[in-house]
Amino acid sequence: MSDTSNKKHFSRRKLIELSGYAALSGVGASLLSASASGVAANALQATPGAIDENAKRGGTLKMGLNNNWTTVEPHKTNNSSGQAIVGLVYGQLLKYYKGEELIPDLAESYEMVDPTTYVFHLRQGVKFHDGEPFTAADVKASYDQILNPENGVTVYSYLTGVESVNIVNDFEVEFKLKEPQATFIAAMGLPGNYIAQAKKIEAGVDFMKDVVGTGPFKFVSETTGVEAKVERNDEYYLEGLPYLDGVEFRPLTDDSARTNALYSGSADLITYVPWAQMGAIEEDSKYSLKSNPEDGYLMIDIRVDRPPMDNKALRQAISYGIDREAVIATATSGRGKPCYGGIIPSWMWGYNEEISETYKYDPEKAKQLLQEAGAEGLELELISWPPDNELFGLPSVVVANQLNQIGLNVELKPMAVAPYHQARSDGSYEMLFDGTLYDIPDPDFLTKLYRTDGTRVAKANRYSDPEVDQWLDEARSLTDQDERIALYDKVQNKILEDQPIIMVMFREQGEATLADVMGHEYLGALGVSNVLLEVWLDR
């Protein structure tokens, strides 16, 4: 992963720069169109289309998923397992692919007519699995569903800035935004932007049974909680793809059950490999591990508006008092990376190496800051998950212990899922052990963490800084990447000083396959199963 990060950095940057150029030149739509299509064509080169002559065709891939899908309705699916299935059956205008590249799918290209108007040029000649042609009406009808908050689709939160979706002609769709939004295109590629048939949406068919898309695989059957099957779409618009005859999905929610399924050969591919098993899988030539050591992060949310945590020196003391390397060595089986400073990961544009070592472990400084804050021996509560939980539970035990060593008196309070969610959402905590994945490859993810109304943390932990708000808003409205980076640098420096959220570490996440599963790559939150388009079995 790390060895390809430069390449990714470059191509993402190029994409944004080119669209930025289009905006700046802002005269004729034809010119914009040309450069925008150029972007799309450029991205396409790195993606499917070229058939691998060595690839063996056929076979069914068995995929063990780490959570249970609850539905296969395209516009109600909101967890990764549902997206793994639905993402193979339905197409999107754009989608993410290998190397976290954004590639055209049902849209061949797009153009930014002005900063609040985007026009997508649709691929012609694409057919739904029932033989019906794909047109702009399907896009319009699908986005009416995606943009309905009652459906609870995760991508909705990135598309609230869309004012209207308008059909220009059969193969052109216009998206009108309320205000310029630099993340719009990046959001359009996320899982959840599925295109279903307009006439089925209008007829109100049962999308649990009538599962018809344009994707590389056709839906066969599904029993919720048991099994789902898809088979090769011979009419897929990319000739010769996919290589697989089909994919079978099975929920294997228990970590040991899932890894054992891989070890026993009952599964060819498993999602979410537990940290404790990554080493063993990596060392064994029978399996292959694909992971991103900076796929997400673990952090401590702090309620900053009331004593005692409203004291900045106390928060900084805590940050200096965490021995992040020891957390990784003892709690995460050595997986992941310490996060001493900026939260933008090294693989994403906007990464700033200069601030990557701000909070190196310094117990003396921590104690000194505690003294300044008058907080020695202070009793604090850290809400987390039970200690047997690998993701938050165990790391929080180590962190609490470390904080007690610098002279605090931290009590761990493990909680069940639902009360934990409630506490996290309404901010009823002093400190709360938390973490998530980078769900969009754009530094704008900072907005949800740090902007005053930030739905992920700031709204709950009451962090509010007018300057941070202003920088984040400005960065979101600009298309020039260098200008945006300068603003995100300012944001990162300010939050490093304020420490409203204490970053503990970058979190590794990945998938494992049997060694004869070829062409697999880990895409994570950007589209769990997208890469199955070119996966083949060497057996």
Partner 1 sequence: MGSYILRRIIIAIFLVIGAATLVFGLLRAVPGDPALVFLGEYAGPEQIEAVRHQMGLDKPLLAQYGSWLLGMARGDLGNSLVSQLPVSQLILDTVLRSAELVVIGITLGLLIGIPIGVWSALHRAEAVDVGMTVGSLISLSTPSYVSGTVLVLLFAVHWQWLPSSGYVSWLDDPVEHIKLLILPSITLGAHLAATIARFTRSSVLDVIHQDYVRTARAKGLHEQQVIRRHVLRNSLLPITTIVGLQAGHLIGGLVIIETIFAWPGLATLLFTGINTQDYPVVQGCVVVICGLFIMINLAVDVLNGIIDPRVSQGAGS
Question: Which residues sit at the interface with partner 1, rule CB under 8 A?
Answer: 68, 70-71, 76, 78-79, 148-150, 152, 154, 156-157, 160, 223-227, 250-254, 256-257, 260-261, 263-266, 416-419, 421-423, 425, 436, 439, 448, 455-456
Q: Which is nearer to partner 1, 60 or 266 (CB)?
A: 266
- When the beta carbons of 68 and 356 are compared against partner 1, the nearer one is 68
Residues 6+ apart with CB under 8 A from 177: 115, 116, 117, 118, 161, 162, 163, 184
Report in angstroms how near the CB of residue 428 gets to partner 1 at its nearest. 8
Shortest distance in whole angstroms from residue 463 CB to partner 1 = 17
Q: Give the nearest distance from C-beta 484 to partner 1 in angstroms.
A: 21
Residue 153: CB minimum distance to partner 1, A? 9
Q: What letter would DSSP give residue 442?
A: S
Helices (H), 478-526: 481-498
Task: Choose between 196 and 314: whose C-beta lies nearer to partner 1.
Answer: 196
Report H helices in 90-213. 136-146, 184-188, 198-203
Cis peptide before 338 (omega within 30 of 0): no
- What does residue 28 show for φ and ψ, rounded to 5 degrees? -100, 140
- Residue 515 CA: distances (Å) to CA of 51, 468, 520: 21, 47, 10
Residue closer to partner 1 by CB (options 225, 240) is 225
Q: Report residue 494 as tokens.
A: 């300010």
Tokens standing for 360? 């190196």
If we measure between CA atoms, which residue out of 82, 51, 226 comes closest to residue 154?
82
Tell me which residue of 249, 270, 240, 261 sits closest to 53, measured CA to CA: 240
Query: By C-beta, is 229 or 494 nearer to partner 1?
Result: 229
CB of 458 to partner 1, least distance (A): 12
**Shortest Å, Cβ 337 to partner 1:** 22
> Smallest distance, Å, CB 69 to partner 1?
9
Write the CB contacts of 17 (distance below 8 Å, at least 6 apart in sequence).
480, 481
Residue 509 near residue 292, CB atoms below 8 Å:
yes
Distances (CA, A) of 200 to 76, 153, 210, 345, 531: 15, 19, 9, 42, 28
Q: Shortest distance, CB of residue 257 to partner 1, whole angstroms?
A: 5
Q: How far is the CB of 407 from partner 1 (least distance, A)?
A: 32
Neighbours of 49 (CB within 10 A): 13
Least separation in angstroms between CB 75 and partner 1? 13
Would you say 243 or 450 has its CB closer to partner 1? 450
Which residue number, 139 or 449, has a Cβ lying nearer to partner 1?
Answer: 449
Q: Looking up tokens 């609490």, which residue turns up?
A: 400
Q: Compare residues 57 and 209 and give the one whose CB is closer to partner 1.
A: 209
Using CA atoms, how far residue 47 sits from 101, 103, 105, 513, in Å, is 8, 7, 11, 21
